[in-house]
Structure 1
């Protein structure tokens, strides 16, 4: 491996966070806590809002099982990312470049860039909608304003990685607090919620429900987060020994599991809120975020409910921009050795997202944005297989992983997850093409 190949992604923060070699469990846990929360924000971005709102309003609590299944898949896959990053010192993008041919590696990079652009589109549109709801800013103007967040990101990167983690965790707490309040206002049916977490065959049989379910899967298990996590877990400066690596994998996995459990709560809360307020009151056609905002306060009889909803949306969108920026840098550096200034990378990504957003708003109207959000999540889901399969291949390769290779039971479980993802995506494509050929 050449010297340039040895350069890590995000070199400015690589191994910059010290961890204790001795001390209590909680002291070590605190030192390792952080990367999982950065990853978790991608699992509660505005794209989730569109799919969860549509699913809750149209189908009640029944799609909670899809959120739970998606979250369990995410916990497993992010744990594999921790293992890959710690055991090999390479992130997923670098591992792809190391082990695949140049054409294959280039193709995976293109697909990943498409996924990041789709994710960025969801964050941009979601933030713009929140600005419109809170401050009556035209949606097209709000889309352009959100591109300016690059400067805040650059400021935080210069301060240090722990500052980014602290900000992310604070914003997650704000979003979570907003939805605790909303659920208190909505008073959902506990029995119905518990029943919704039980898988139902009707979801697969109904093309519309399946489309939203695949969108939830794409919104929950984020392909670019697999690249991100395998890199930022290396911000911790553990000693390069088998014992310290085992410890880093253990605490990194605990960190991401706790963080994704919070994401499960927020995703479930969005769907539960939509089901409790809209589905069971006859407003099953509510799918637009703007409609949900307008109806929440009058239907709940609580004046601040709509404003709390919009504040949570804005916080969610702005939080997600942090991870999209870093993921884009990791993917470009890992696959191509191309090191672009973070501000330039962010502006390029934003430009790719701004153009379809503005065109959709101009030609189809502001009411089309939620459909655009749901479509962006389906695109993410269709790209998932091309990130999941290499991750499972690498972590199951003894030559690459050594003693940290996946045991047989984990290989079987991971392959089952990959099969479910590929199968659901294949079914979605079949249903989509059938709908185009038979529009009636």
Structure 2
């Protein structure tokens, strides 16, 4: 495939009954989606919210790098090392452009969880006196407060709980509405004592898209830093971190058609410059003596040790693939799929959607409860039909508790999902309900 945009599968289809709904027909670009499961049944993959599948262009990019350019980056004077470093930094540039930021505002991590921990440990190290006068802006005391929301994935909650426990700062949170959105009427939780506001761009449970400017505006009024979990948004809608005005953001490659083992931290240039490092060791130092060490400027300051070079190359290919589709077109496609899912679920007896029941300002990530049936049983019966969904609390126990359940079943779509997939899923769920009736 020469370019994504030239793919014959990337088209409006007018020749069958799925013409309106399937703006994108990309499944053939994803080798795994052609396999069968459970006794030869075609795979219907609706677990993209946990991990997306990879197009052939991403698989090929990693394979080509490992076969022809594999070497340690930022070291060695030989040609292969130069080629590896060039590919590594080209990936940084490509990802930066994809999310609307500058080249040196992108830090590689192994996943979004590590990226968020990098920020919290930077605050902790500053509180311990590391980083000098520049880092003093991050020092926390028992008079300070950290604000999160009830909608957060554990990756954007537990690290802040730990930071509060270690520094004496108070952790507060914005509740969710009955619809499953961050309650913007409760922004008075953010006060003059607030130093950090950490929140999700789009929920991995309710699918609700956050009104980021409202929260950023309130945080800026009190001088608080903003930290955005963009794991669910970066792969499914246009994202521009500079335009959003946030200070830090994190997302993962494996949720956006890329490899596992690579994540991204965005940080505003001046903020990264002042942040003390989290992991230390080789590759991030300037001068090392037996008594002390000085560190390189960002982003290298935060990239200790041997880096995941092939994975960054794969992520570069993934954002190129997404850009070839067009994030606006992809978002419209998934809006349509969300509408189909929600409409179908509304007709299944005993099903309650956890989150907005309309497709406006939400992703095609739909968690639901089936009355009287455990989510694991729902998932197993769907799996017997070749339909892959997620079951459990999705690393978001507080929002489940807010809905009065311990767990849920979640179906989540991606670029390769079709209306036929949604129809098969809804038919399968009817069979689940009939089976347990």
Higher strand fraction (1 or 2): 2
Which TM-score band (shorter chain)? under 0.3
* Relative contact order, higher structure (CA 8 A, sep 6+): 1
- Tell me the TM-score normalised to structure 2 length: 0.27
Higher helix fraction (1 or 2): 1
- Tell me the TM-score normalised to structure 1 length: 0.27
